[in-house]
Amino acid sequence: MEGDPVMECIQSQLVAGAPELQQTNIDNIEAETDEVIVSTQEQAILHQRLLYAPEDDERVSSEQVPVLMDDEFSSDSDSDIEPDLPPGLDGAAFQSRLPANKLTRQEIDFFPDIASGSQSAIMEFLRIRNKLLQAWLHDPLNELTADKAQSIANIPHSVSGKSNLVLRIHGYLSRYGFINFGVFKQQNPLEGKMPFKVLVIGGGISGLMTARQLQYFGLDVSILEARDRIGGRVNTFRKGAYSADLGAMVVTGLGGNPLSVIRKQVGLQMSKIRRRCPLYYTTGEMVPRERDRTVELEFNRLLDTVSYLSHHLQVDQLNGHSLSLGEALELLIELQEKHSREKLKEHLTIMSSLQLELKGIYTQIKEIQMKLKEGQERQRQLLEAHGNNPNDIDFIKRSTEQDLYQLFQQYDTLHEQRQDIENRLDEAEDTDIPAVYLSPRDRQILDWHFANLEFANASPLNVLSLRHWDQDDDFEFTGAHLCLRDGYDALPKSLSKGLDIRLKTAVTAINYSADGTEVIATSTESGCTNTFKADAVVVTVPLGVLKAGAITFQPPLPEWKQQAINDLGFGLLNKVILCFEQRFWDANVHLFGHVASSTTSRGELFMFWHLSFTPVLIALLAGEDAVKYESLPDDVVTAKAMAVLRSIFGDNSVPEPKETFVTRWRGDEYARGSYSYIASGSSGNDYDFLAASVSPTRAGSTVPRPRLFFAGEHTIRNYPATVHGALLSGLREAGKVADFLLGASYTPRPLSSSAEVAQPPVTLSELI
């Protein structure tokens, strides 16, 4: 790599401080305050920033562990779990993920007459919109009707222009799921159904939300689900009194989260997850708190630096090769190690030079001491030989003392130089210049943080896009991270009520044209094949299923759609469920970490979660280890997890588990993985491509007719890899399907002429 201009650029930035990484040495970082260290990258790391250990270093014994309290996981009050929001109408817009004081791109598109009008017209639109949002959030158990919207907006029916605007805004907000979504009471349910059939492929969160909303709009909708259950990657293990979430398990804040509304509608019981996470070495020794915090600070600085390099310096390639996030991080570590060695070499060179200089001064001092001794002896001899004559004595003294005086001056000068060099040597010896940037244990702790990042992205760092991996950071929700007391499957169970769901129905082919769609499905029970016809199909299967080509599309999907399917990453996270008769871990800790002994095994059972009333631990397998462990038998995986626990708590404190379960999401044919990530060579644009509908045209016609729609966490650029993202994508697609089939009275825009065509869509964020 020597002489490479990119390397020289990176090295120069490290030296210049981009941002001040070169000034940091693991053993020289001053202890910070007790506040949590935060970086811009922190928001991209889902389910975490839970990384601080207690002060003591001792192994936890079973005698130290408090008994499980009944209220340990009791539901927190609304004031405890609801985040602080801006007051009034601003807060309503914030909770709805909309800007309070400006139009979104979607609103500009649907309300061109308002967008091109006066500022007062825009402000009136925003006032009405925000008041309706506020009213819905205040009472999400009941439908916000058009009549009620008129009353809330405080505009008389006689004022036809403004009255019509209220109806348009209400229609838009309802159509795209800003109001009237979830599980609520319809004030005037439609009698019968519209003469349109919609099929939703997949009964996960996005599919359930799509179907529920379409049913509210009056469409005839059915869900085809291959499994014998609903929920998809939301699945809760239950056996006897034990329960644990096998897939999604954390609500990452309620500030802006549509789950905040559904929680109130169906009474989802949520509790805050405690943020403290003590770490343990493989020896069972607890990682000192300050050591973990120091390494985490360096972890965040490394992330800040790779962000600076990729976004500000546009450095994302090396020798023509696209750098992944993992490669960039390892490159920085290598450069820091080199920098540390160079600093040590420079330090030792300076000390060696000073020692040589001091040796030379000692030699000169010794020579002067000899000359002084010889001069004094010569003076004595002369005085003895000629000491009887006063004139001779005076001459002898004057002739010898001049030489002695010069020697004494030289001696004093050398003595001062010696003292200066000795002081500089003492100072150099007191300066701690470590031989390495990271000690072996520091590297182990850093690897734990890397594993945590791999957990957040369901991907090894060496395949993540350096520039785009955290592109959704700005859209993270606010508030505490929460768990569902009764298991996450309470959500799909609530959303599924009243829906037509065909379980054990695996879709194998979708034929589509401008005139309609035909879906071929096979019963996983009988093996019989059925054909379903519909006006539109919403495909909500996981990205892994699309990548595997499990569903055949005829005609084949457009090249831009298939390319996005190929390019976007679909990662893996696995879990080991361990159910015990009683708890042996600290009741005040909801999670603790295991620091692996090597980089290659850093994701191996690196974190344990306890989020249940019952004594259940959930061990995580991330990165390469998530893949590796899928091929191991359950008993081997369980034994490894037990070995880790016994290394931490002691052999005698950890009993054999009563029940166990090991997930294998990659091997699940209806998932093929856990959730999406932005791979090297991909970008956030691929989420937009995956979200775009496919709109064939009739022969001889130029008018596109969207027939294939797509939802799921892999189709929502701002909220990927999350349950709320899947839910929001379902609301989005329900709106698009209804616009196509039912029309959109809320907008003067001719939808038929501006519908998405089978070509790459404009890659903009959905709303803002």
Residues contributing to the annotated binding site: 198-227, 233, 249-250, 713, 722-723
To the nearest 10°, the Cα dihedral for 101, 104, 110, 111? 30
What distance in Å separates the CA atoms of residue 147 and residue 143, rounded to the nearest whole number?
A: 11
DSSP track, 272-293: EPP----EE-TTSPBPPHHHHH
- Euclidean distance between the first and the last CA atom of the chain, given in angstroms as a whole number: 43
Extract the runs of DSSP E, i.e. beta strands, from 646-730: 659-662, 676-677, 708-710
Exposed/middle/buried for residue 233 (C-beta within 10 Å: 0-12, 13-18, 19+)? buried
What separation in angstroms does the CA of 505 have from each of 201, 309, 540, 554?
A: 9, 49, 14, 19
Phi, psi of 662 (to 5 degrees): -120, 125
| β-strand partners of 322 | 317
Q: Is 513 helix (H, G, I), strand (E, B) or coil?
A: strand
Cis peptide before 748 (omega within 30 of 0): no
Residue matched to tokens 């939300």: 209
- Rounded CA separation 756/748 (Å): 17
Give the CA radius of gyration of the chain.
Answer: 35
Reported in sequence order, the residue ranges of 352-504 that DSSP labels E, i.e. its strands, are 481-484, 500-502
Residue ranges of the annotated binding site for FAD are 198-227, 233, 249-250, 713, 722-723
- Region label for 180, one of left (φ > 0), alpha (ψ between -120 and 50) or beta (otherwise): left
Torsion of CA 533, 536, 538, 543, to 10 degrees: 80
**738, 732 contact by CB (below 8 A):** no
| 635: three-class secondary structure by DSSP | helix
**Distance from C-alpha of 710 to C-alpha of 225, rounded to nearest angstrom:** 15
- Dihedral sign for Cα 672, 678, 680, 682, please: positive
Angle at 569 between CA 454 and CA 566, to 5 degrees: 165
Backbone phi, then psi, for 427, in 5-degree steps?
-65, -40
Beta bridge partners of 483: 271
The residues, any chain, with a CB within 8 Å of residue 711's CB and separated by 6 or more, are: 206, 207, 209, 210, 538, 539, 540, 691, 726, 729, 730, 732, 733
Name, in order, each residue with C-beta under 8 angstroms of 402's C-beta and a sequence gap of 6 or more.
Answer: none
Tokens at residue 694, please? 């496919």
H or E stretch covering 617: strand 616-621
Cα distance between residue 709 and residue 705, in whole Å: 11
Cβ atoms of 66 and 615 closer than 8 Å: no
Nearest-angstrom CA–CA distance, 186 and 208:
18
The helix or strand, by DSSP H or E, that contains position 552, with its residue range, turns out to be: strand 552-554
CA distance 630 to 622: 11
